[in-house]
Amino acid sequence: MKSYSTILFDLDGTLTDSSQGIINSIIYALEKYDINDYEMSLLRKFLGPPLHESFEKYYGFDKEKSLQAVKLYREYFSTKGLFENEVYCGITNLLQNLKENGKTLIVATSKPQPFTDRIMEHFDLAKYFDFIAGSNMDTTRSKKAEVIEYALNECNVKDKSKVVMIGDRAEDMIGAQSVGIDSIGVEYGYGTFDELKNADATYIVKTVDELKKLLN
């Protein structure tokens, strides 16, 4: 395995388990449209990709309605859902170890920047990272490739052969490929082995401990 000097982490499903807060926020939005027949397996598909795309894909909302649904989602998420969340066991130790070994650590998430910043500060994770990149509140810079490219440009990272993206969904692997960097898929998040494999993850690990061994 290569020795990576710059390591990008997804947030939801990679650093923290935010499923409860995200799903509760989606339910809040759907109920505003009198949609009450949701299935949990369908709602879990929202975990990872940009929200407006998921409202369109899974509930047939047009663009205008999907953006309105995102605003409703944020009504709940900004006050309650944000903190219905927990850091995965072993993550803090992993980040501290990587930092002590001189790695450049970056967060690259499709979650809006203001929410990302609040979560990182709330769970005392921000101190480990050199840069935190999220999407814009107007849903621009929401695709993972756009977020990764933005982060690498802001950090003036030139040698992409020394960069790896860590995430739990296909979007993370595809985004990494799009910008020409390696990827590590984590099965402890919201994706599956098959999803990560089919998205051509460079490596796949089951646990945080396996991830730590892979990076060291």
Which residues touch 212 (CB under 8 Å, ≥6 apart)? 90, 93, 94, 97
| Beta bridge partner(s), residue 108 | 133
**Cβ count near 206 (within 10 Å):** 11
Catalytic residue among 10, 12, 17, 182: 10
Q: How many CA atoms lie within 13 A of 37 on its CB side?
A: 1
Cα 17 → chain centroid: 10
**Cβ count near 169 (within 10 Å):** 27
Helix, strand, coil % over all residues of the chain, rounded to 5? 50, 15, 35
Ordered structural domains, the chain, with CATH: 6-17+86-215 (3.40.50.1000), 19-83 (1.10.150.240)
Q: Examine the residue annotation and report whether 10 is marked as an active-site residue of this protein.
A: yes
Residue 207 in contact with residue 185, Cβ under 8 Å? no
- Report pTM: 0.90
Token pair listed for 94 = 């992993």
Q: For tokens 């993550």, name the residue.
A: 91
d(CA 62, CA 89): 39
Quote the pLDDT of residue 48: 81
d(CA 114, CA 98): 25
From first to last of the 216 residues of the chain, give the pLDDT tens digit: 789 999 999 999 999 999 999 999 999 999 999 999 889 999 999 998 889 999 999 999 999 999 999 999 999 999 999 999 999 999 999 999 999 999 999 999 999 999 999 999 999 999 999 999 999 998 789 899 999 999 999 999 999 999 999 999 999 999 999 999 999 999 999 999 999 999 999 999 999 999 999 998
Quote the pLDDT of residue 187: 98
